[in-house]
């Protein structure tokens, strides 16, 4: 089912190139359509949002009443509510421990410097509708924002059919302030510029289809976004101690997302690679999304037999996967060698779905190699900082001449004058 290659300096590079090429870029038609929606919403406001919503979703945008959230919460099975509450508690605890605070201290010159930390004023959370309704994503996007002290969290979700009860229950659990039934690029445009009762936000987070992804790219700069996520991916580093059954199950857990999902095994054992391949065939046979998984594994699944774990770590850093599992005899021993990954899962009892749902760290992760420079969504994503500087005459006087020297070296005489006049 998957290609098995031996790392020889060429075969593994072909795999890496294929992974990079699979990033689904919005085509010109999508970009043009989204640009038209943005321009029309910017010019005509809510009337344009309503027209697009009626055209695409056959329903007008509307605000979801608090009573509807309560009713959705009550309609969900108790076991689901318990799981959502548990997940929210773990996400909250994790982000509370990461929360940065305002700090001030005495500088070497005797002045006071520091940094003020503030939560963003208003954040939008986009939640897909229909079959792609993920209550876990509501928690992962909204709870860190709440911990950051965001004043208002506005969730938008398409108004098609009956709104998903679990999604609405998750919004209630996460403490979302407003839920608005509006979706697509028109929702992104409305949150970018403000449209009627749909407010302008400072940042927009959450997944969406190709039109939503293109809209987020277009909005960036007017507001901030989390990231433009590519296809899901998992990379497993395993030695001969790993159970083929576990490795295969974890590869499939990402392959089921979509046909562009990537599932890669880096192993020091050729026998393990063969056994995992057999397990993929066996397990795919009884799982519900077998067609999607088979396509993803055929096109973007691979096992690379490495010389040793050091080489495996080097390849993992080059790929910079969204999810990286280390299933070796001593997984923590390899951790210092890992530099690039969205999230790292250590050992056979830390499967990727643990991070997707319940452990606490966010499942909104950099994809397509961007873990080289991007970080997971967290409370930090919803904070901004301001520098603070306070000197008095006694602390400014000894360094005034150096400031004047630096300003004049850049031919900025007014900067130099600002310092001089204080001592005349």
Question: Which amino acids are annotated as binding site for NAD(+), given as ranges?
Answer: 126, 186, 209
Query: Would you list which residues are annotated within the binding site for substrate?
Result: 232, 254, 257, 323, 356, 410, 415
Helix, strand, coil share (%) of the chain residues, nearest 5? 50, 20, 30
Q: Is 352 a catalytic residue?
A: no
Under 8 Å CB-to-CB from 92, ≥6 apart: which residues?
143, 146, 147
Q: CB under 8 Å to 43, separation ≥6 — which residues?
A: none
Return d(Cα 298, Cα 292) in angstroms, integer. Answer: 10
Give the CA-trace dihedral at 265, 267, 269, 275, to 10 degrees.
Answer: -20
Closest CA to 84 of 177, 174, 165, 179: 174
Closest to 377 measured CA to CA, from 205, 159, 224: 205
Q: Which of 162, 86, 152, 94 is nearest to 125 (CA)?
A: 152
- Known catalytic residue: 58? no
Active-site option among 323, 325, 352, 363: 323
Annotated binding site for Zn(2+): 254, 257, 356, 415
Encode burial over 51-90: b for 16+ CB neighbours within 10 A, e otherwise.
ebbeebbebebeebeeebbeebbeebeeeebebbeebbeb
User: Annotated binding residues, as ranges?
Assistant: 126, 186, 209, 232, 254, 257, 323, 356, 410, 415
- Please name every residue paired with 388 in a beta bridge, in sequence order, or none if there are none: 114
CA-CA distance, 337 to 310, in Å (whole number)? 8
Which residue of the set 12, 233, 279, 322 is catalytic? Answer: 322
User: What are the residue numbers of the active site?
Assistant: 322-323
């Amino acid at each position: 089912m998957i290609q098995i290659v031996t790392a020889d300096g060429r075969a593994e590079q072909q795999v890496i190139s294929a992974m990079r090429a699979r990033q689904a870029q919005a085509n010109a038609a999508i970009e043009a359509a989204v640009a038209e929606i943005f321009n029309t919403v910017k010019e005509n406001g809510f009337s344009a949002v309503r027209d697009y919503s009626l055209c695409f979703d056959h329903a007008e945008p509307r605000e979801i009443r608090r009573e509807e959230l309560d009713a959705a919460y009550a309609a969900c099975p108790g076991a689901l509510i318990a799981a959502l509450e548990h997940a929210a508690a773990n996400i909250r605890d994790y982000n509370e421990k990461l929360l940065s605070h305002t700090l001030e201290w005495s500088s070497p010159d005797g002045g006071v410097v520091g940094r003020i930390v503030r939560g963003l004023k208003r954040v939008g959370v986009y939640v897909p509708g229909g079959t792609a309704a993920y209550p876990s994503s509501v928690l992962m996007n909204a709870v860190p924002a709440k911990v950051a002290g965001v004043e208002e969290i506005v969730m938008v979700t398409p108004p098609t059919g009956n709104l998903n009860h679990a999604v609405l229950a998750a919004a209630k659990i996460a403490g979302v302030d407003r839920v608005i039934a509006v979706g697509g690029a028109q929702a992104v445009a409305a949150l970018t510029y403000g449209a009627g009762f749909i407010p302008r936000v400072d940042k927009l987070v959450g997944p969406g289809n190709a039109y939503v992804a293109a809209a987020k790219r277009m909005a960036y700069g007017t507001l901030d976004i989390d990231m433009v996520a590519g296809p899901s991916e998992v990379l497993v580093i395993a030695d001969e101690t790993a159970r083929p059954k576990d490795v295969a199950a974890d590869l499939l857990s990402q392959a089921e997302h979509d046909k562009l999902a990537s599932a890669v095994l880096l192993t020091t054992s050729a026998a393990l690679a063969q056994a995992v391949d057999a397990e993929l065939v066996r397990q795919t046979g009884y799982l519900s999304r077998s067609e999607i998984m088979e396509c993803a594994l055929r096109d973007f699944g691979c096992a690379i037999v490495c010389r040793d774990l050091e080489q495996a770590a080097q390849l993992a850093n080059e790929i910079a996967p969204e999810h990286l599992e280390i299933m070796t005899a001593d997984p923590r021993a390899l951790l210092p060698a890992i530099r690039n990954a969205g999230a790292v899962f250590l050992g056979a009892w830390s499967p990727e779905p643990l991070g997707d749902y319940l452990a606490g760290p966010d499942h909104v992760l950099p994809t397509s190699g961007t873990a080289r420079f991007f970080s997971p969504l967290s409370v930090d994503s919803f904070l901004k900082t301001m520098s603070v500087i306070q000197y008095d005459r006694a602390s400014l006087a000894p360094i005034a001449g150096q400031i004047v020297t630096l300003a004049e070296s850049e031919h900025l005489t007014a900067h130099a004058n600002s310092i001089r006049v204080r001592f005349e």
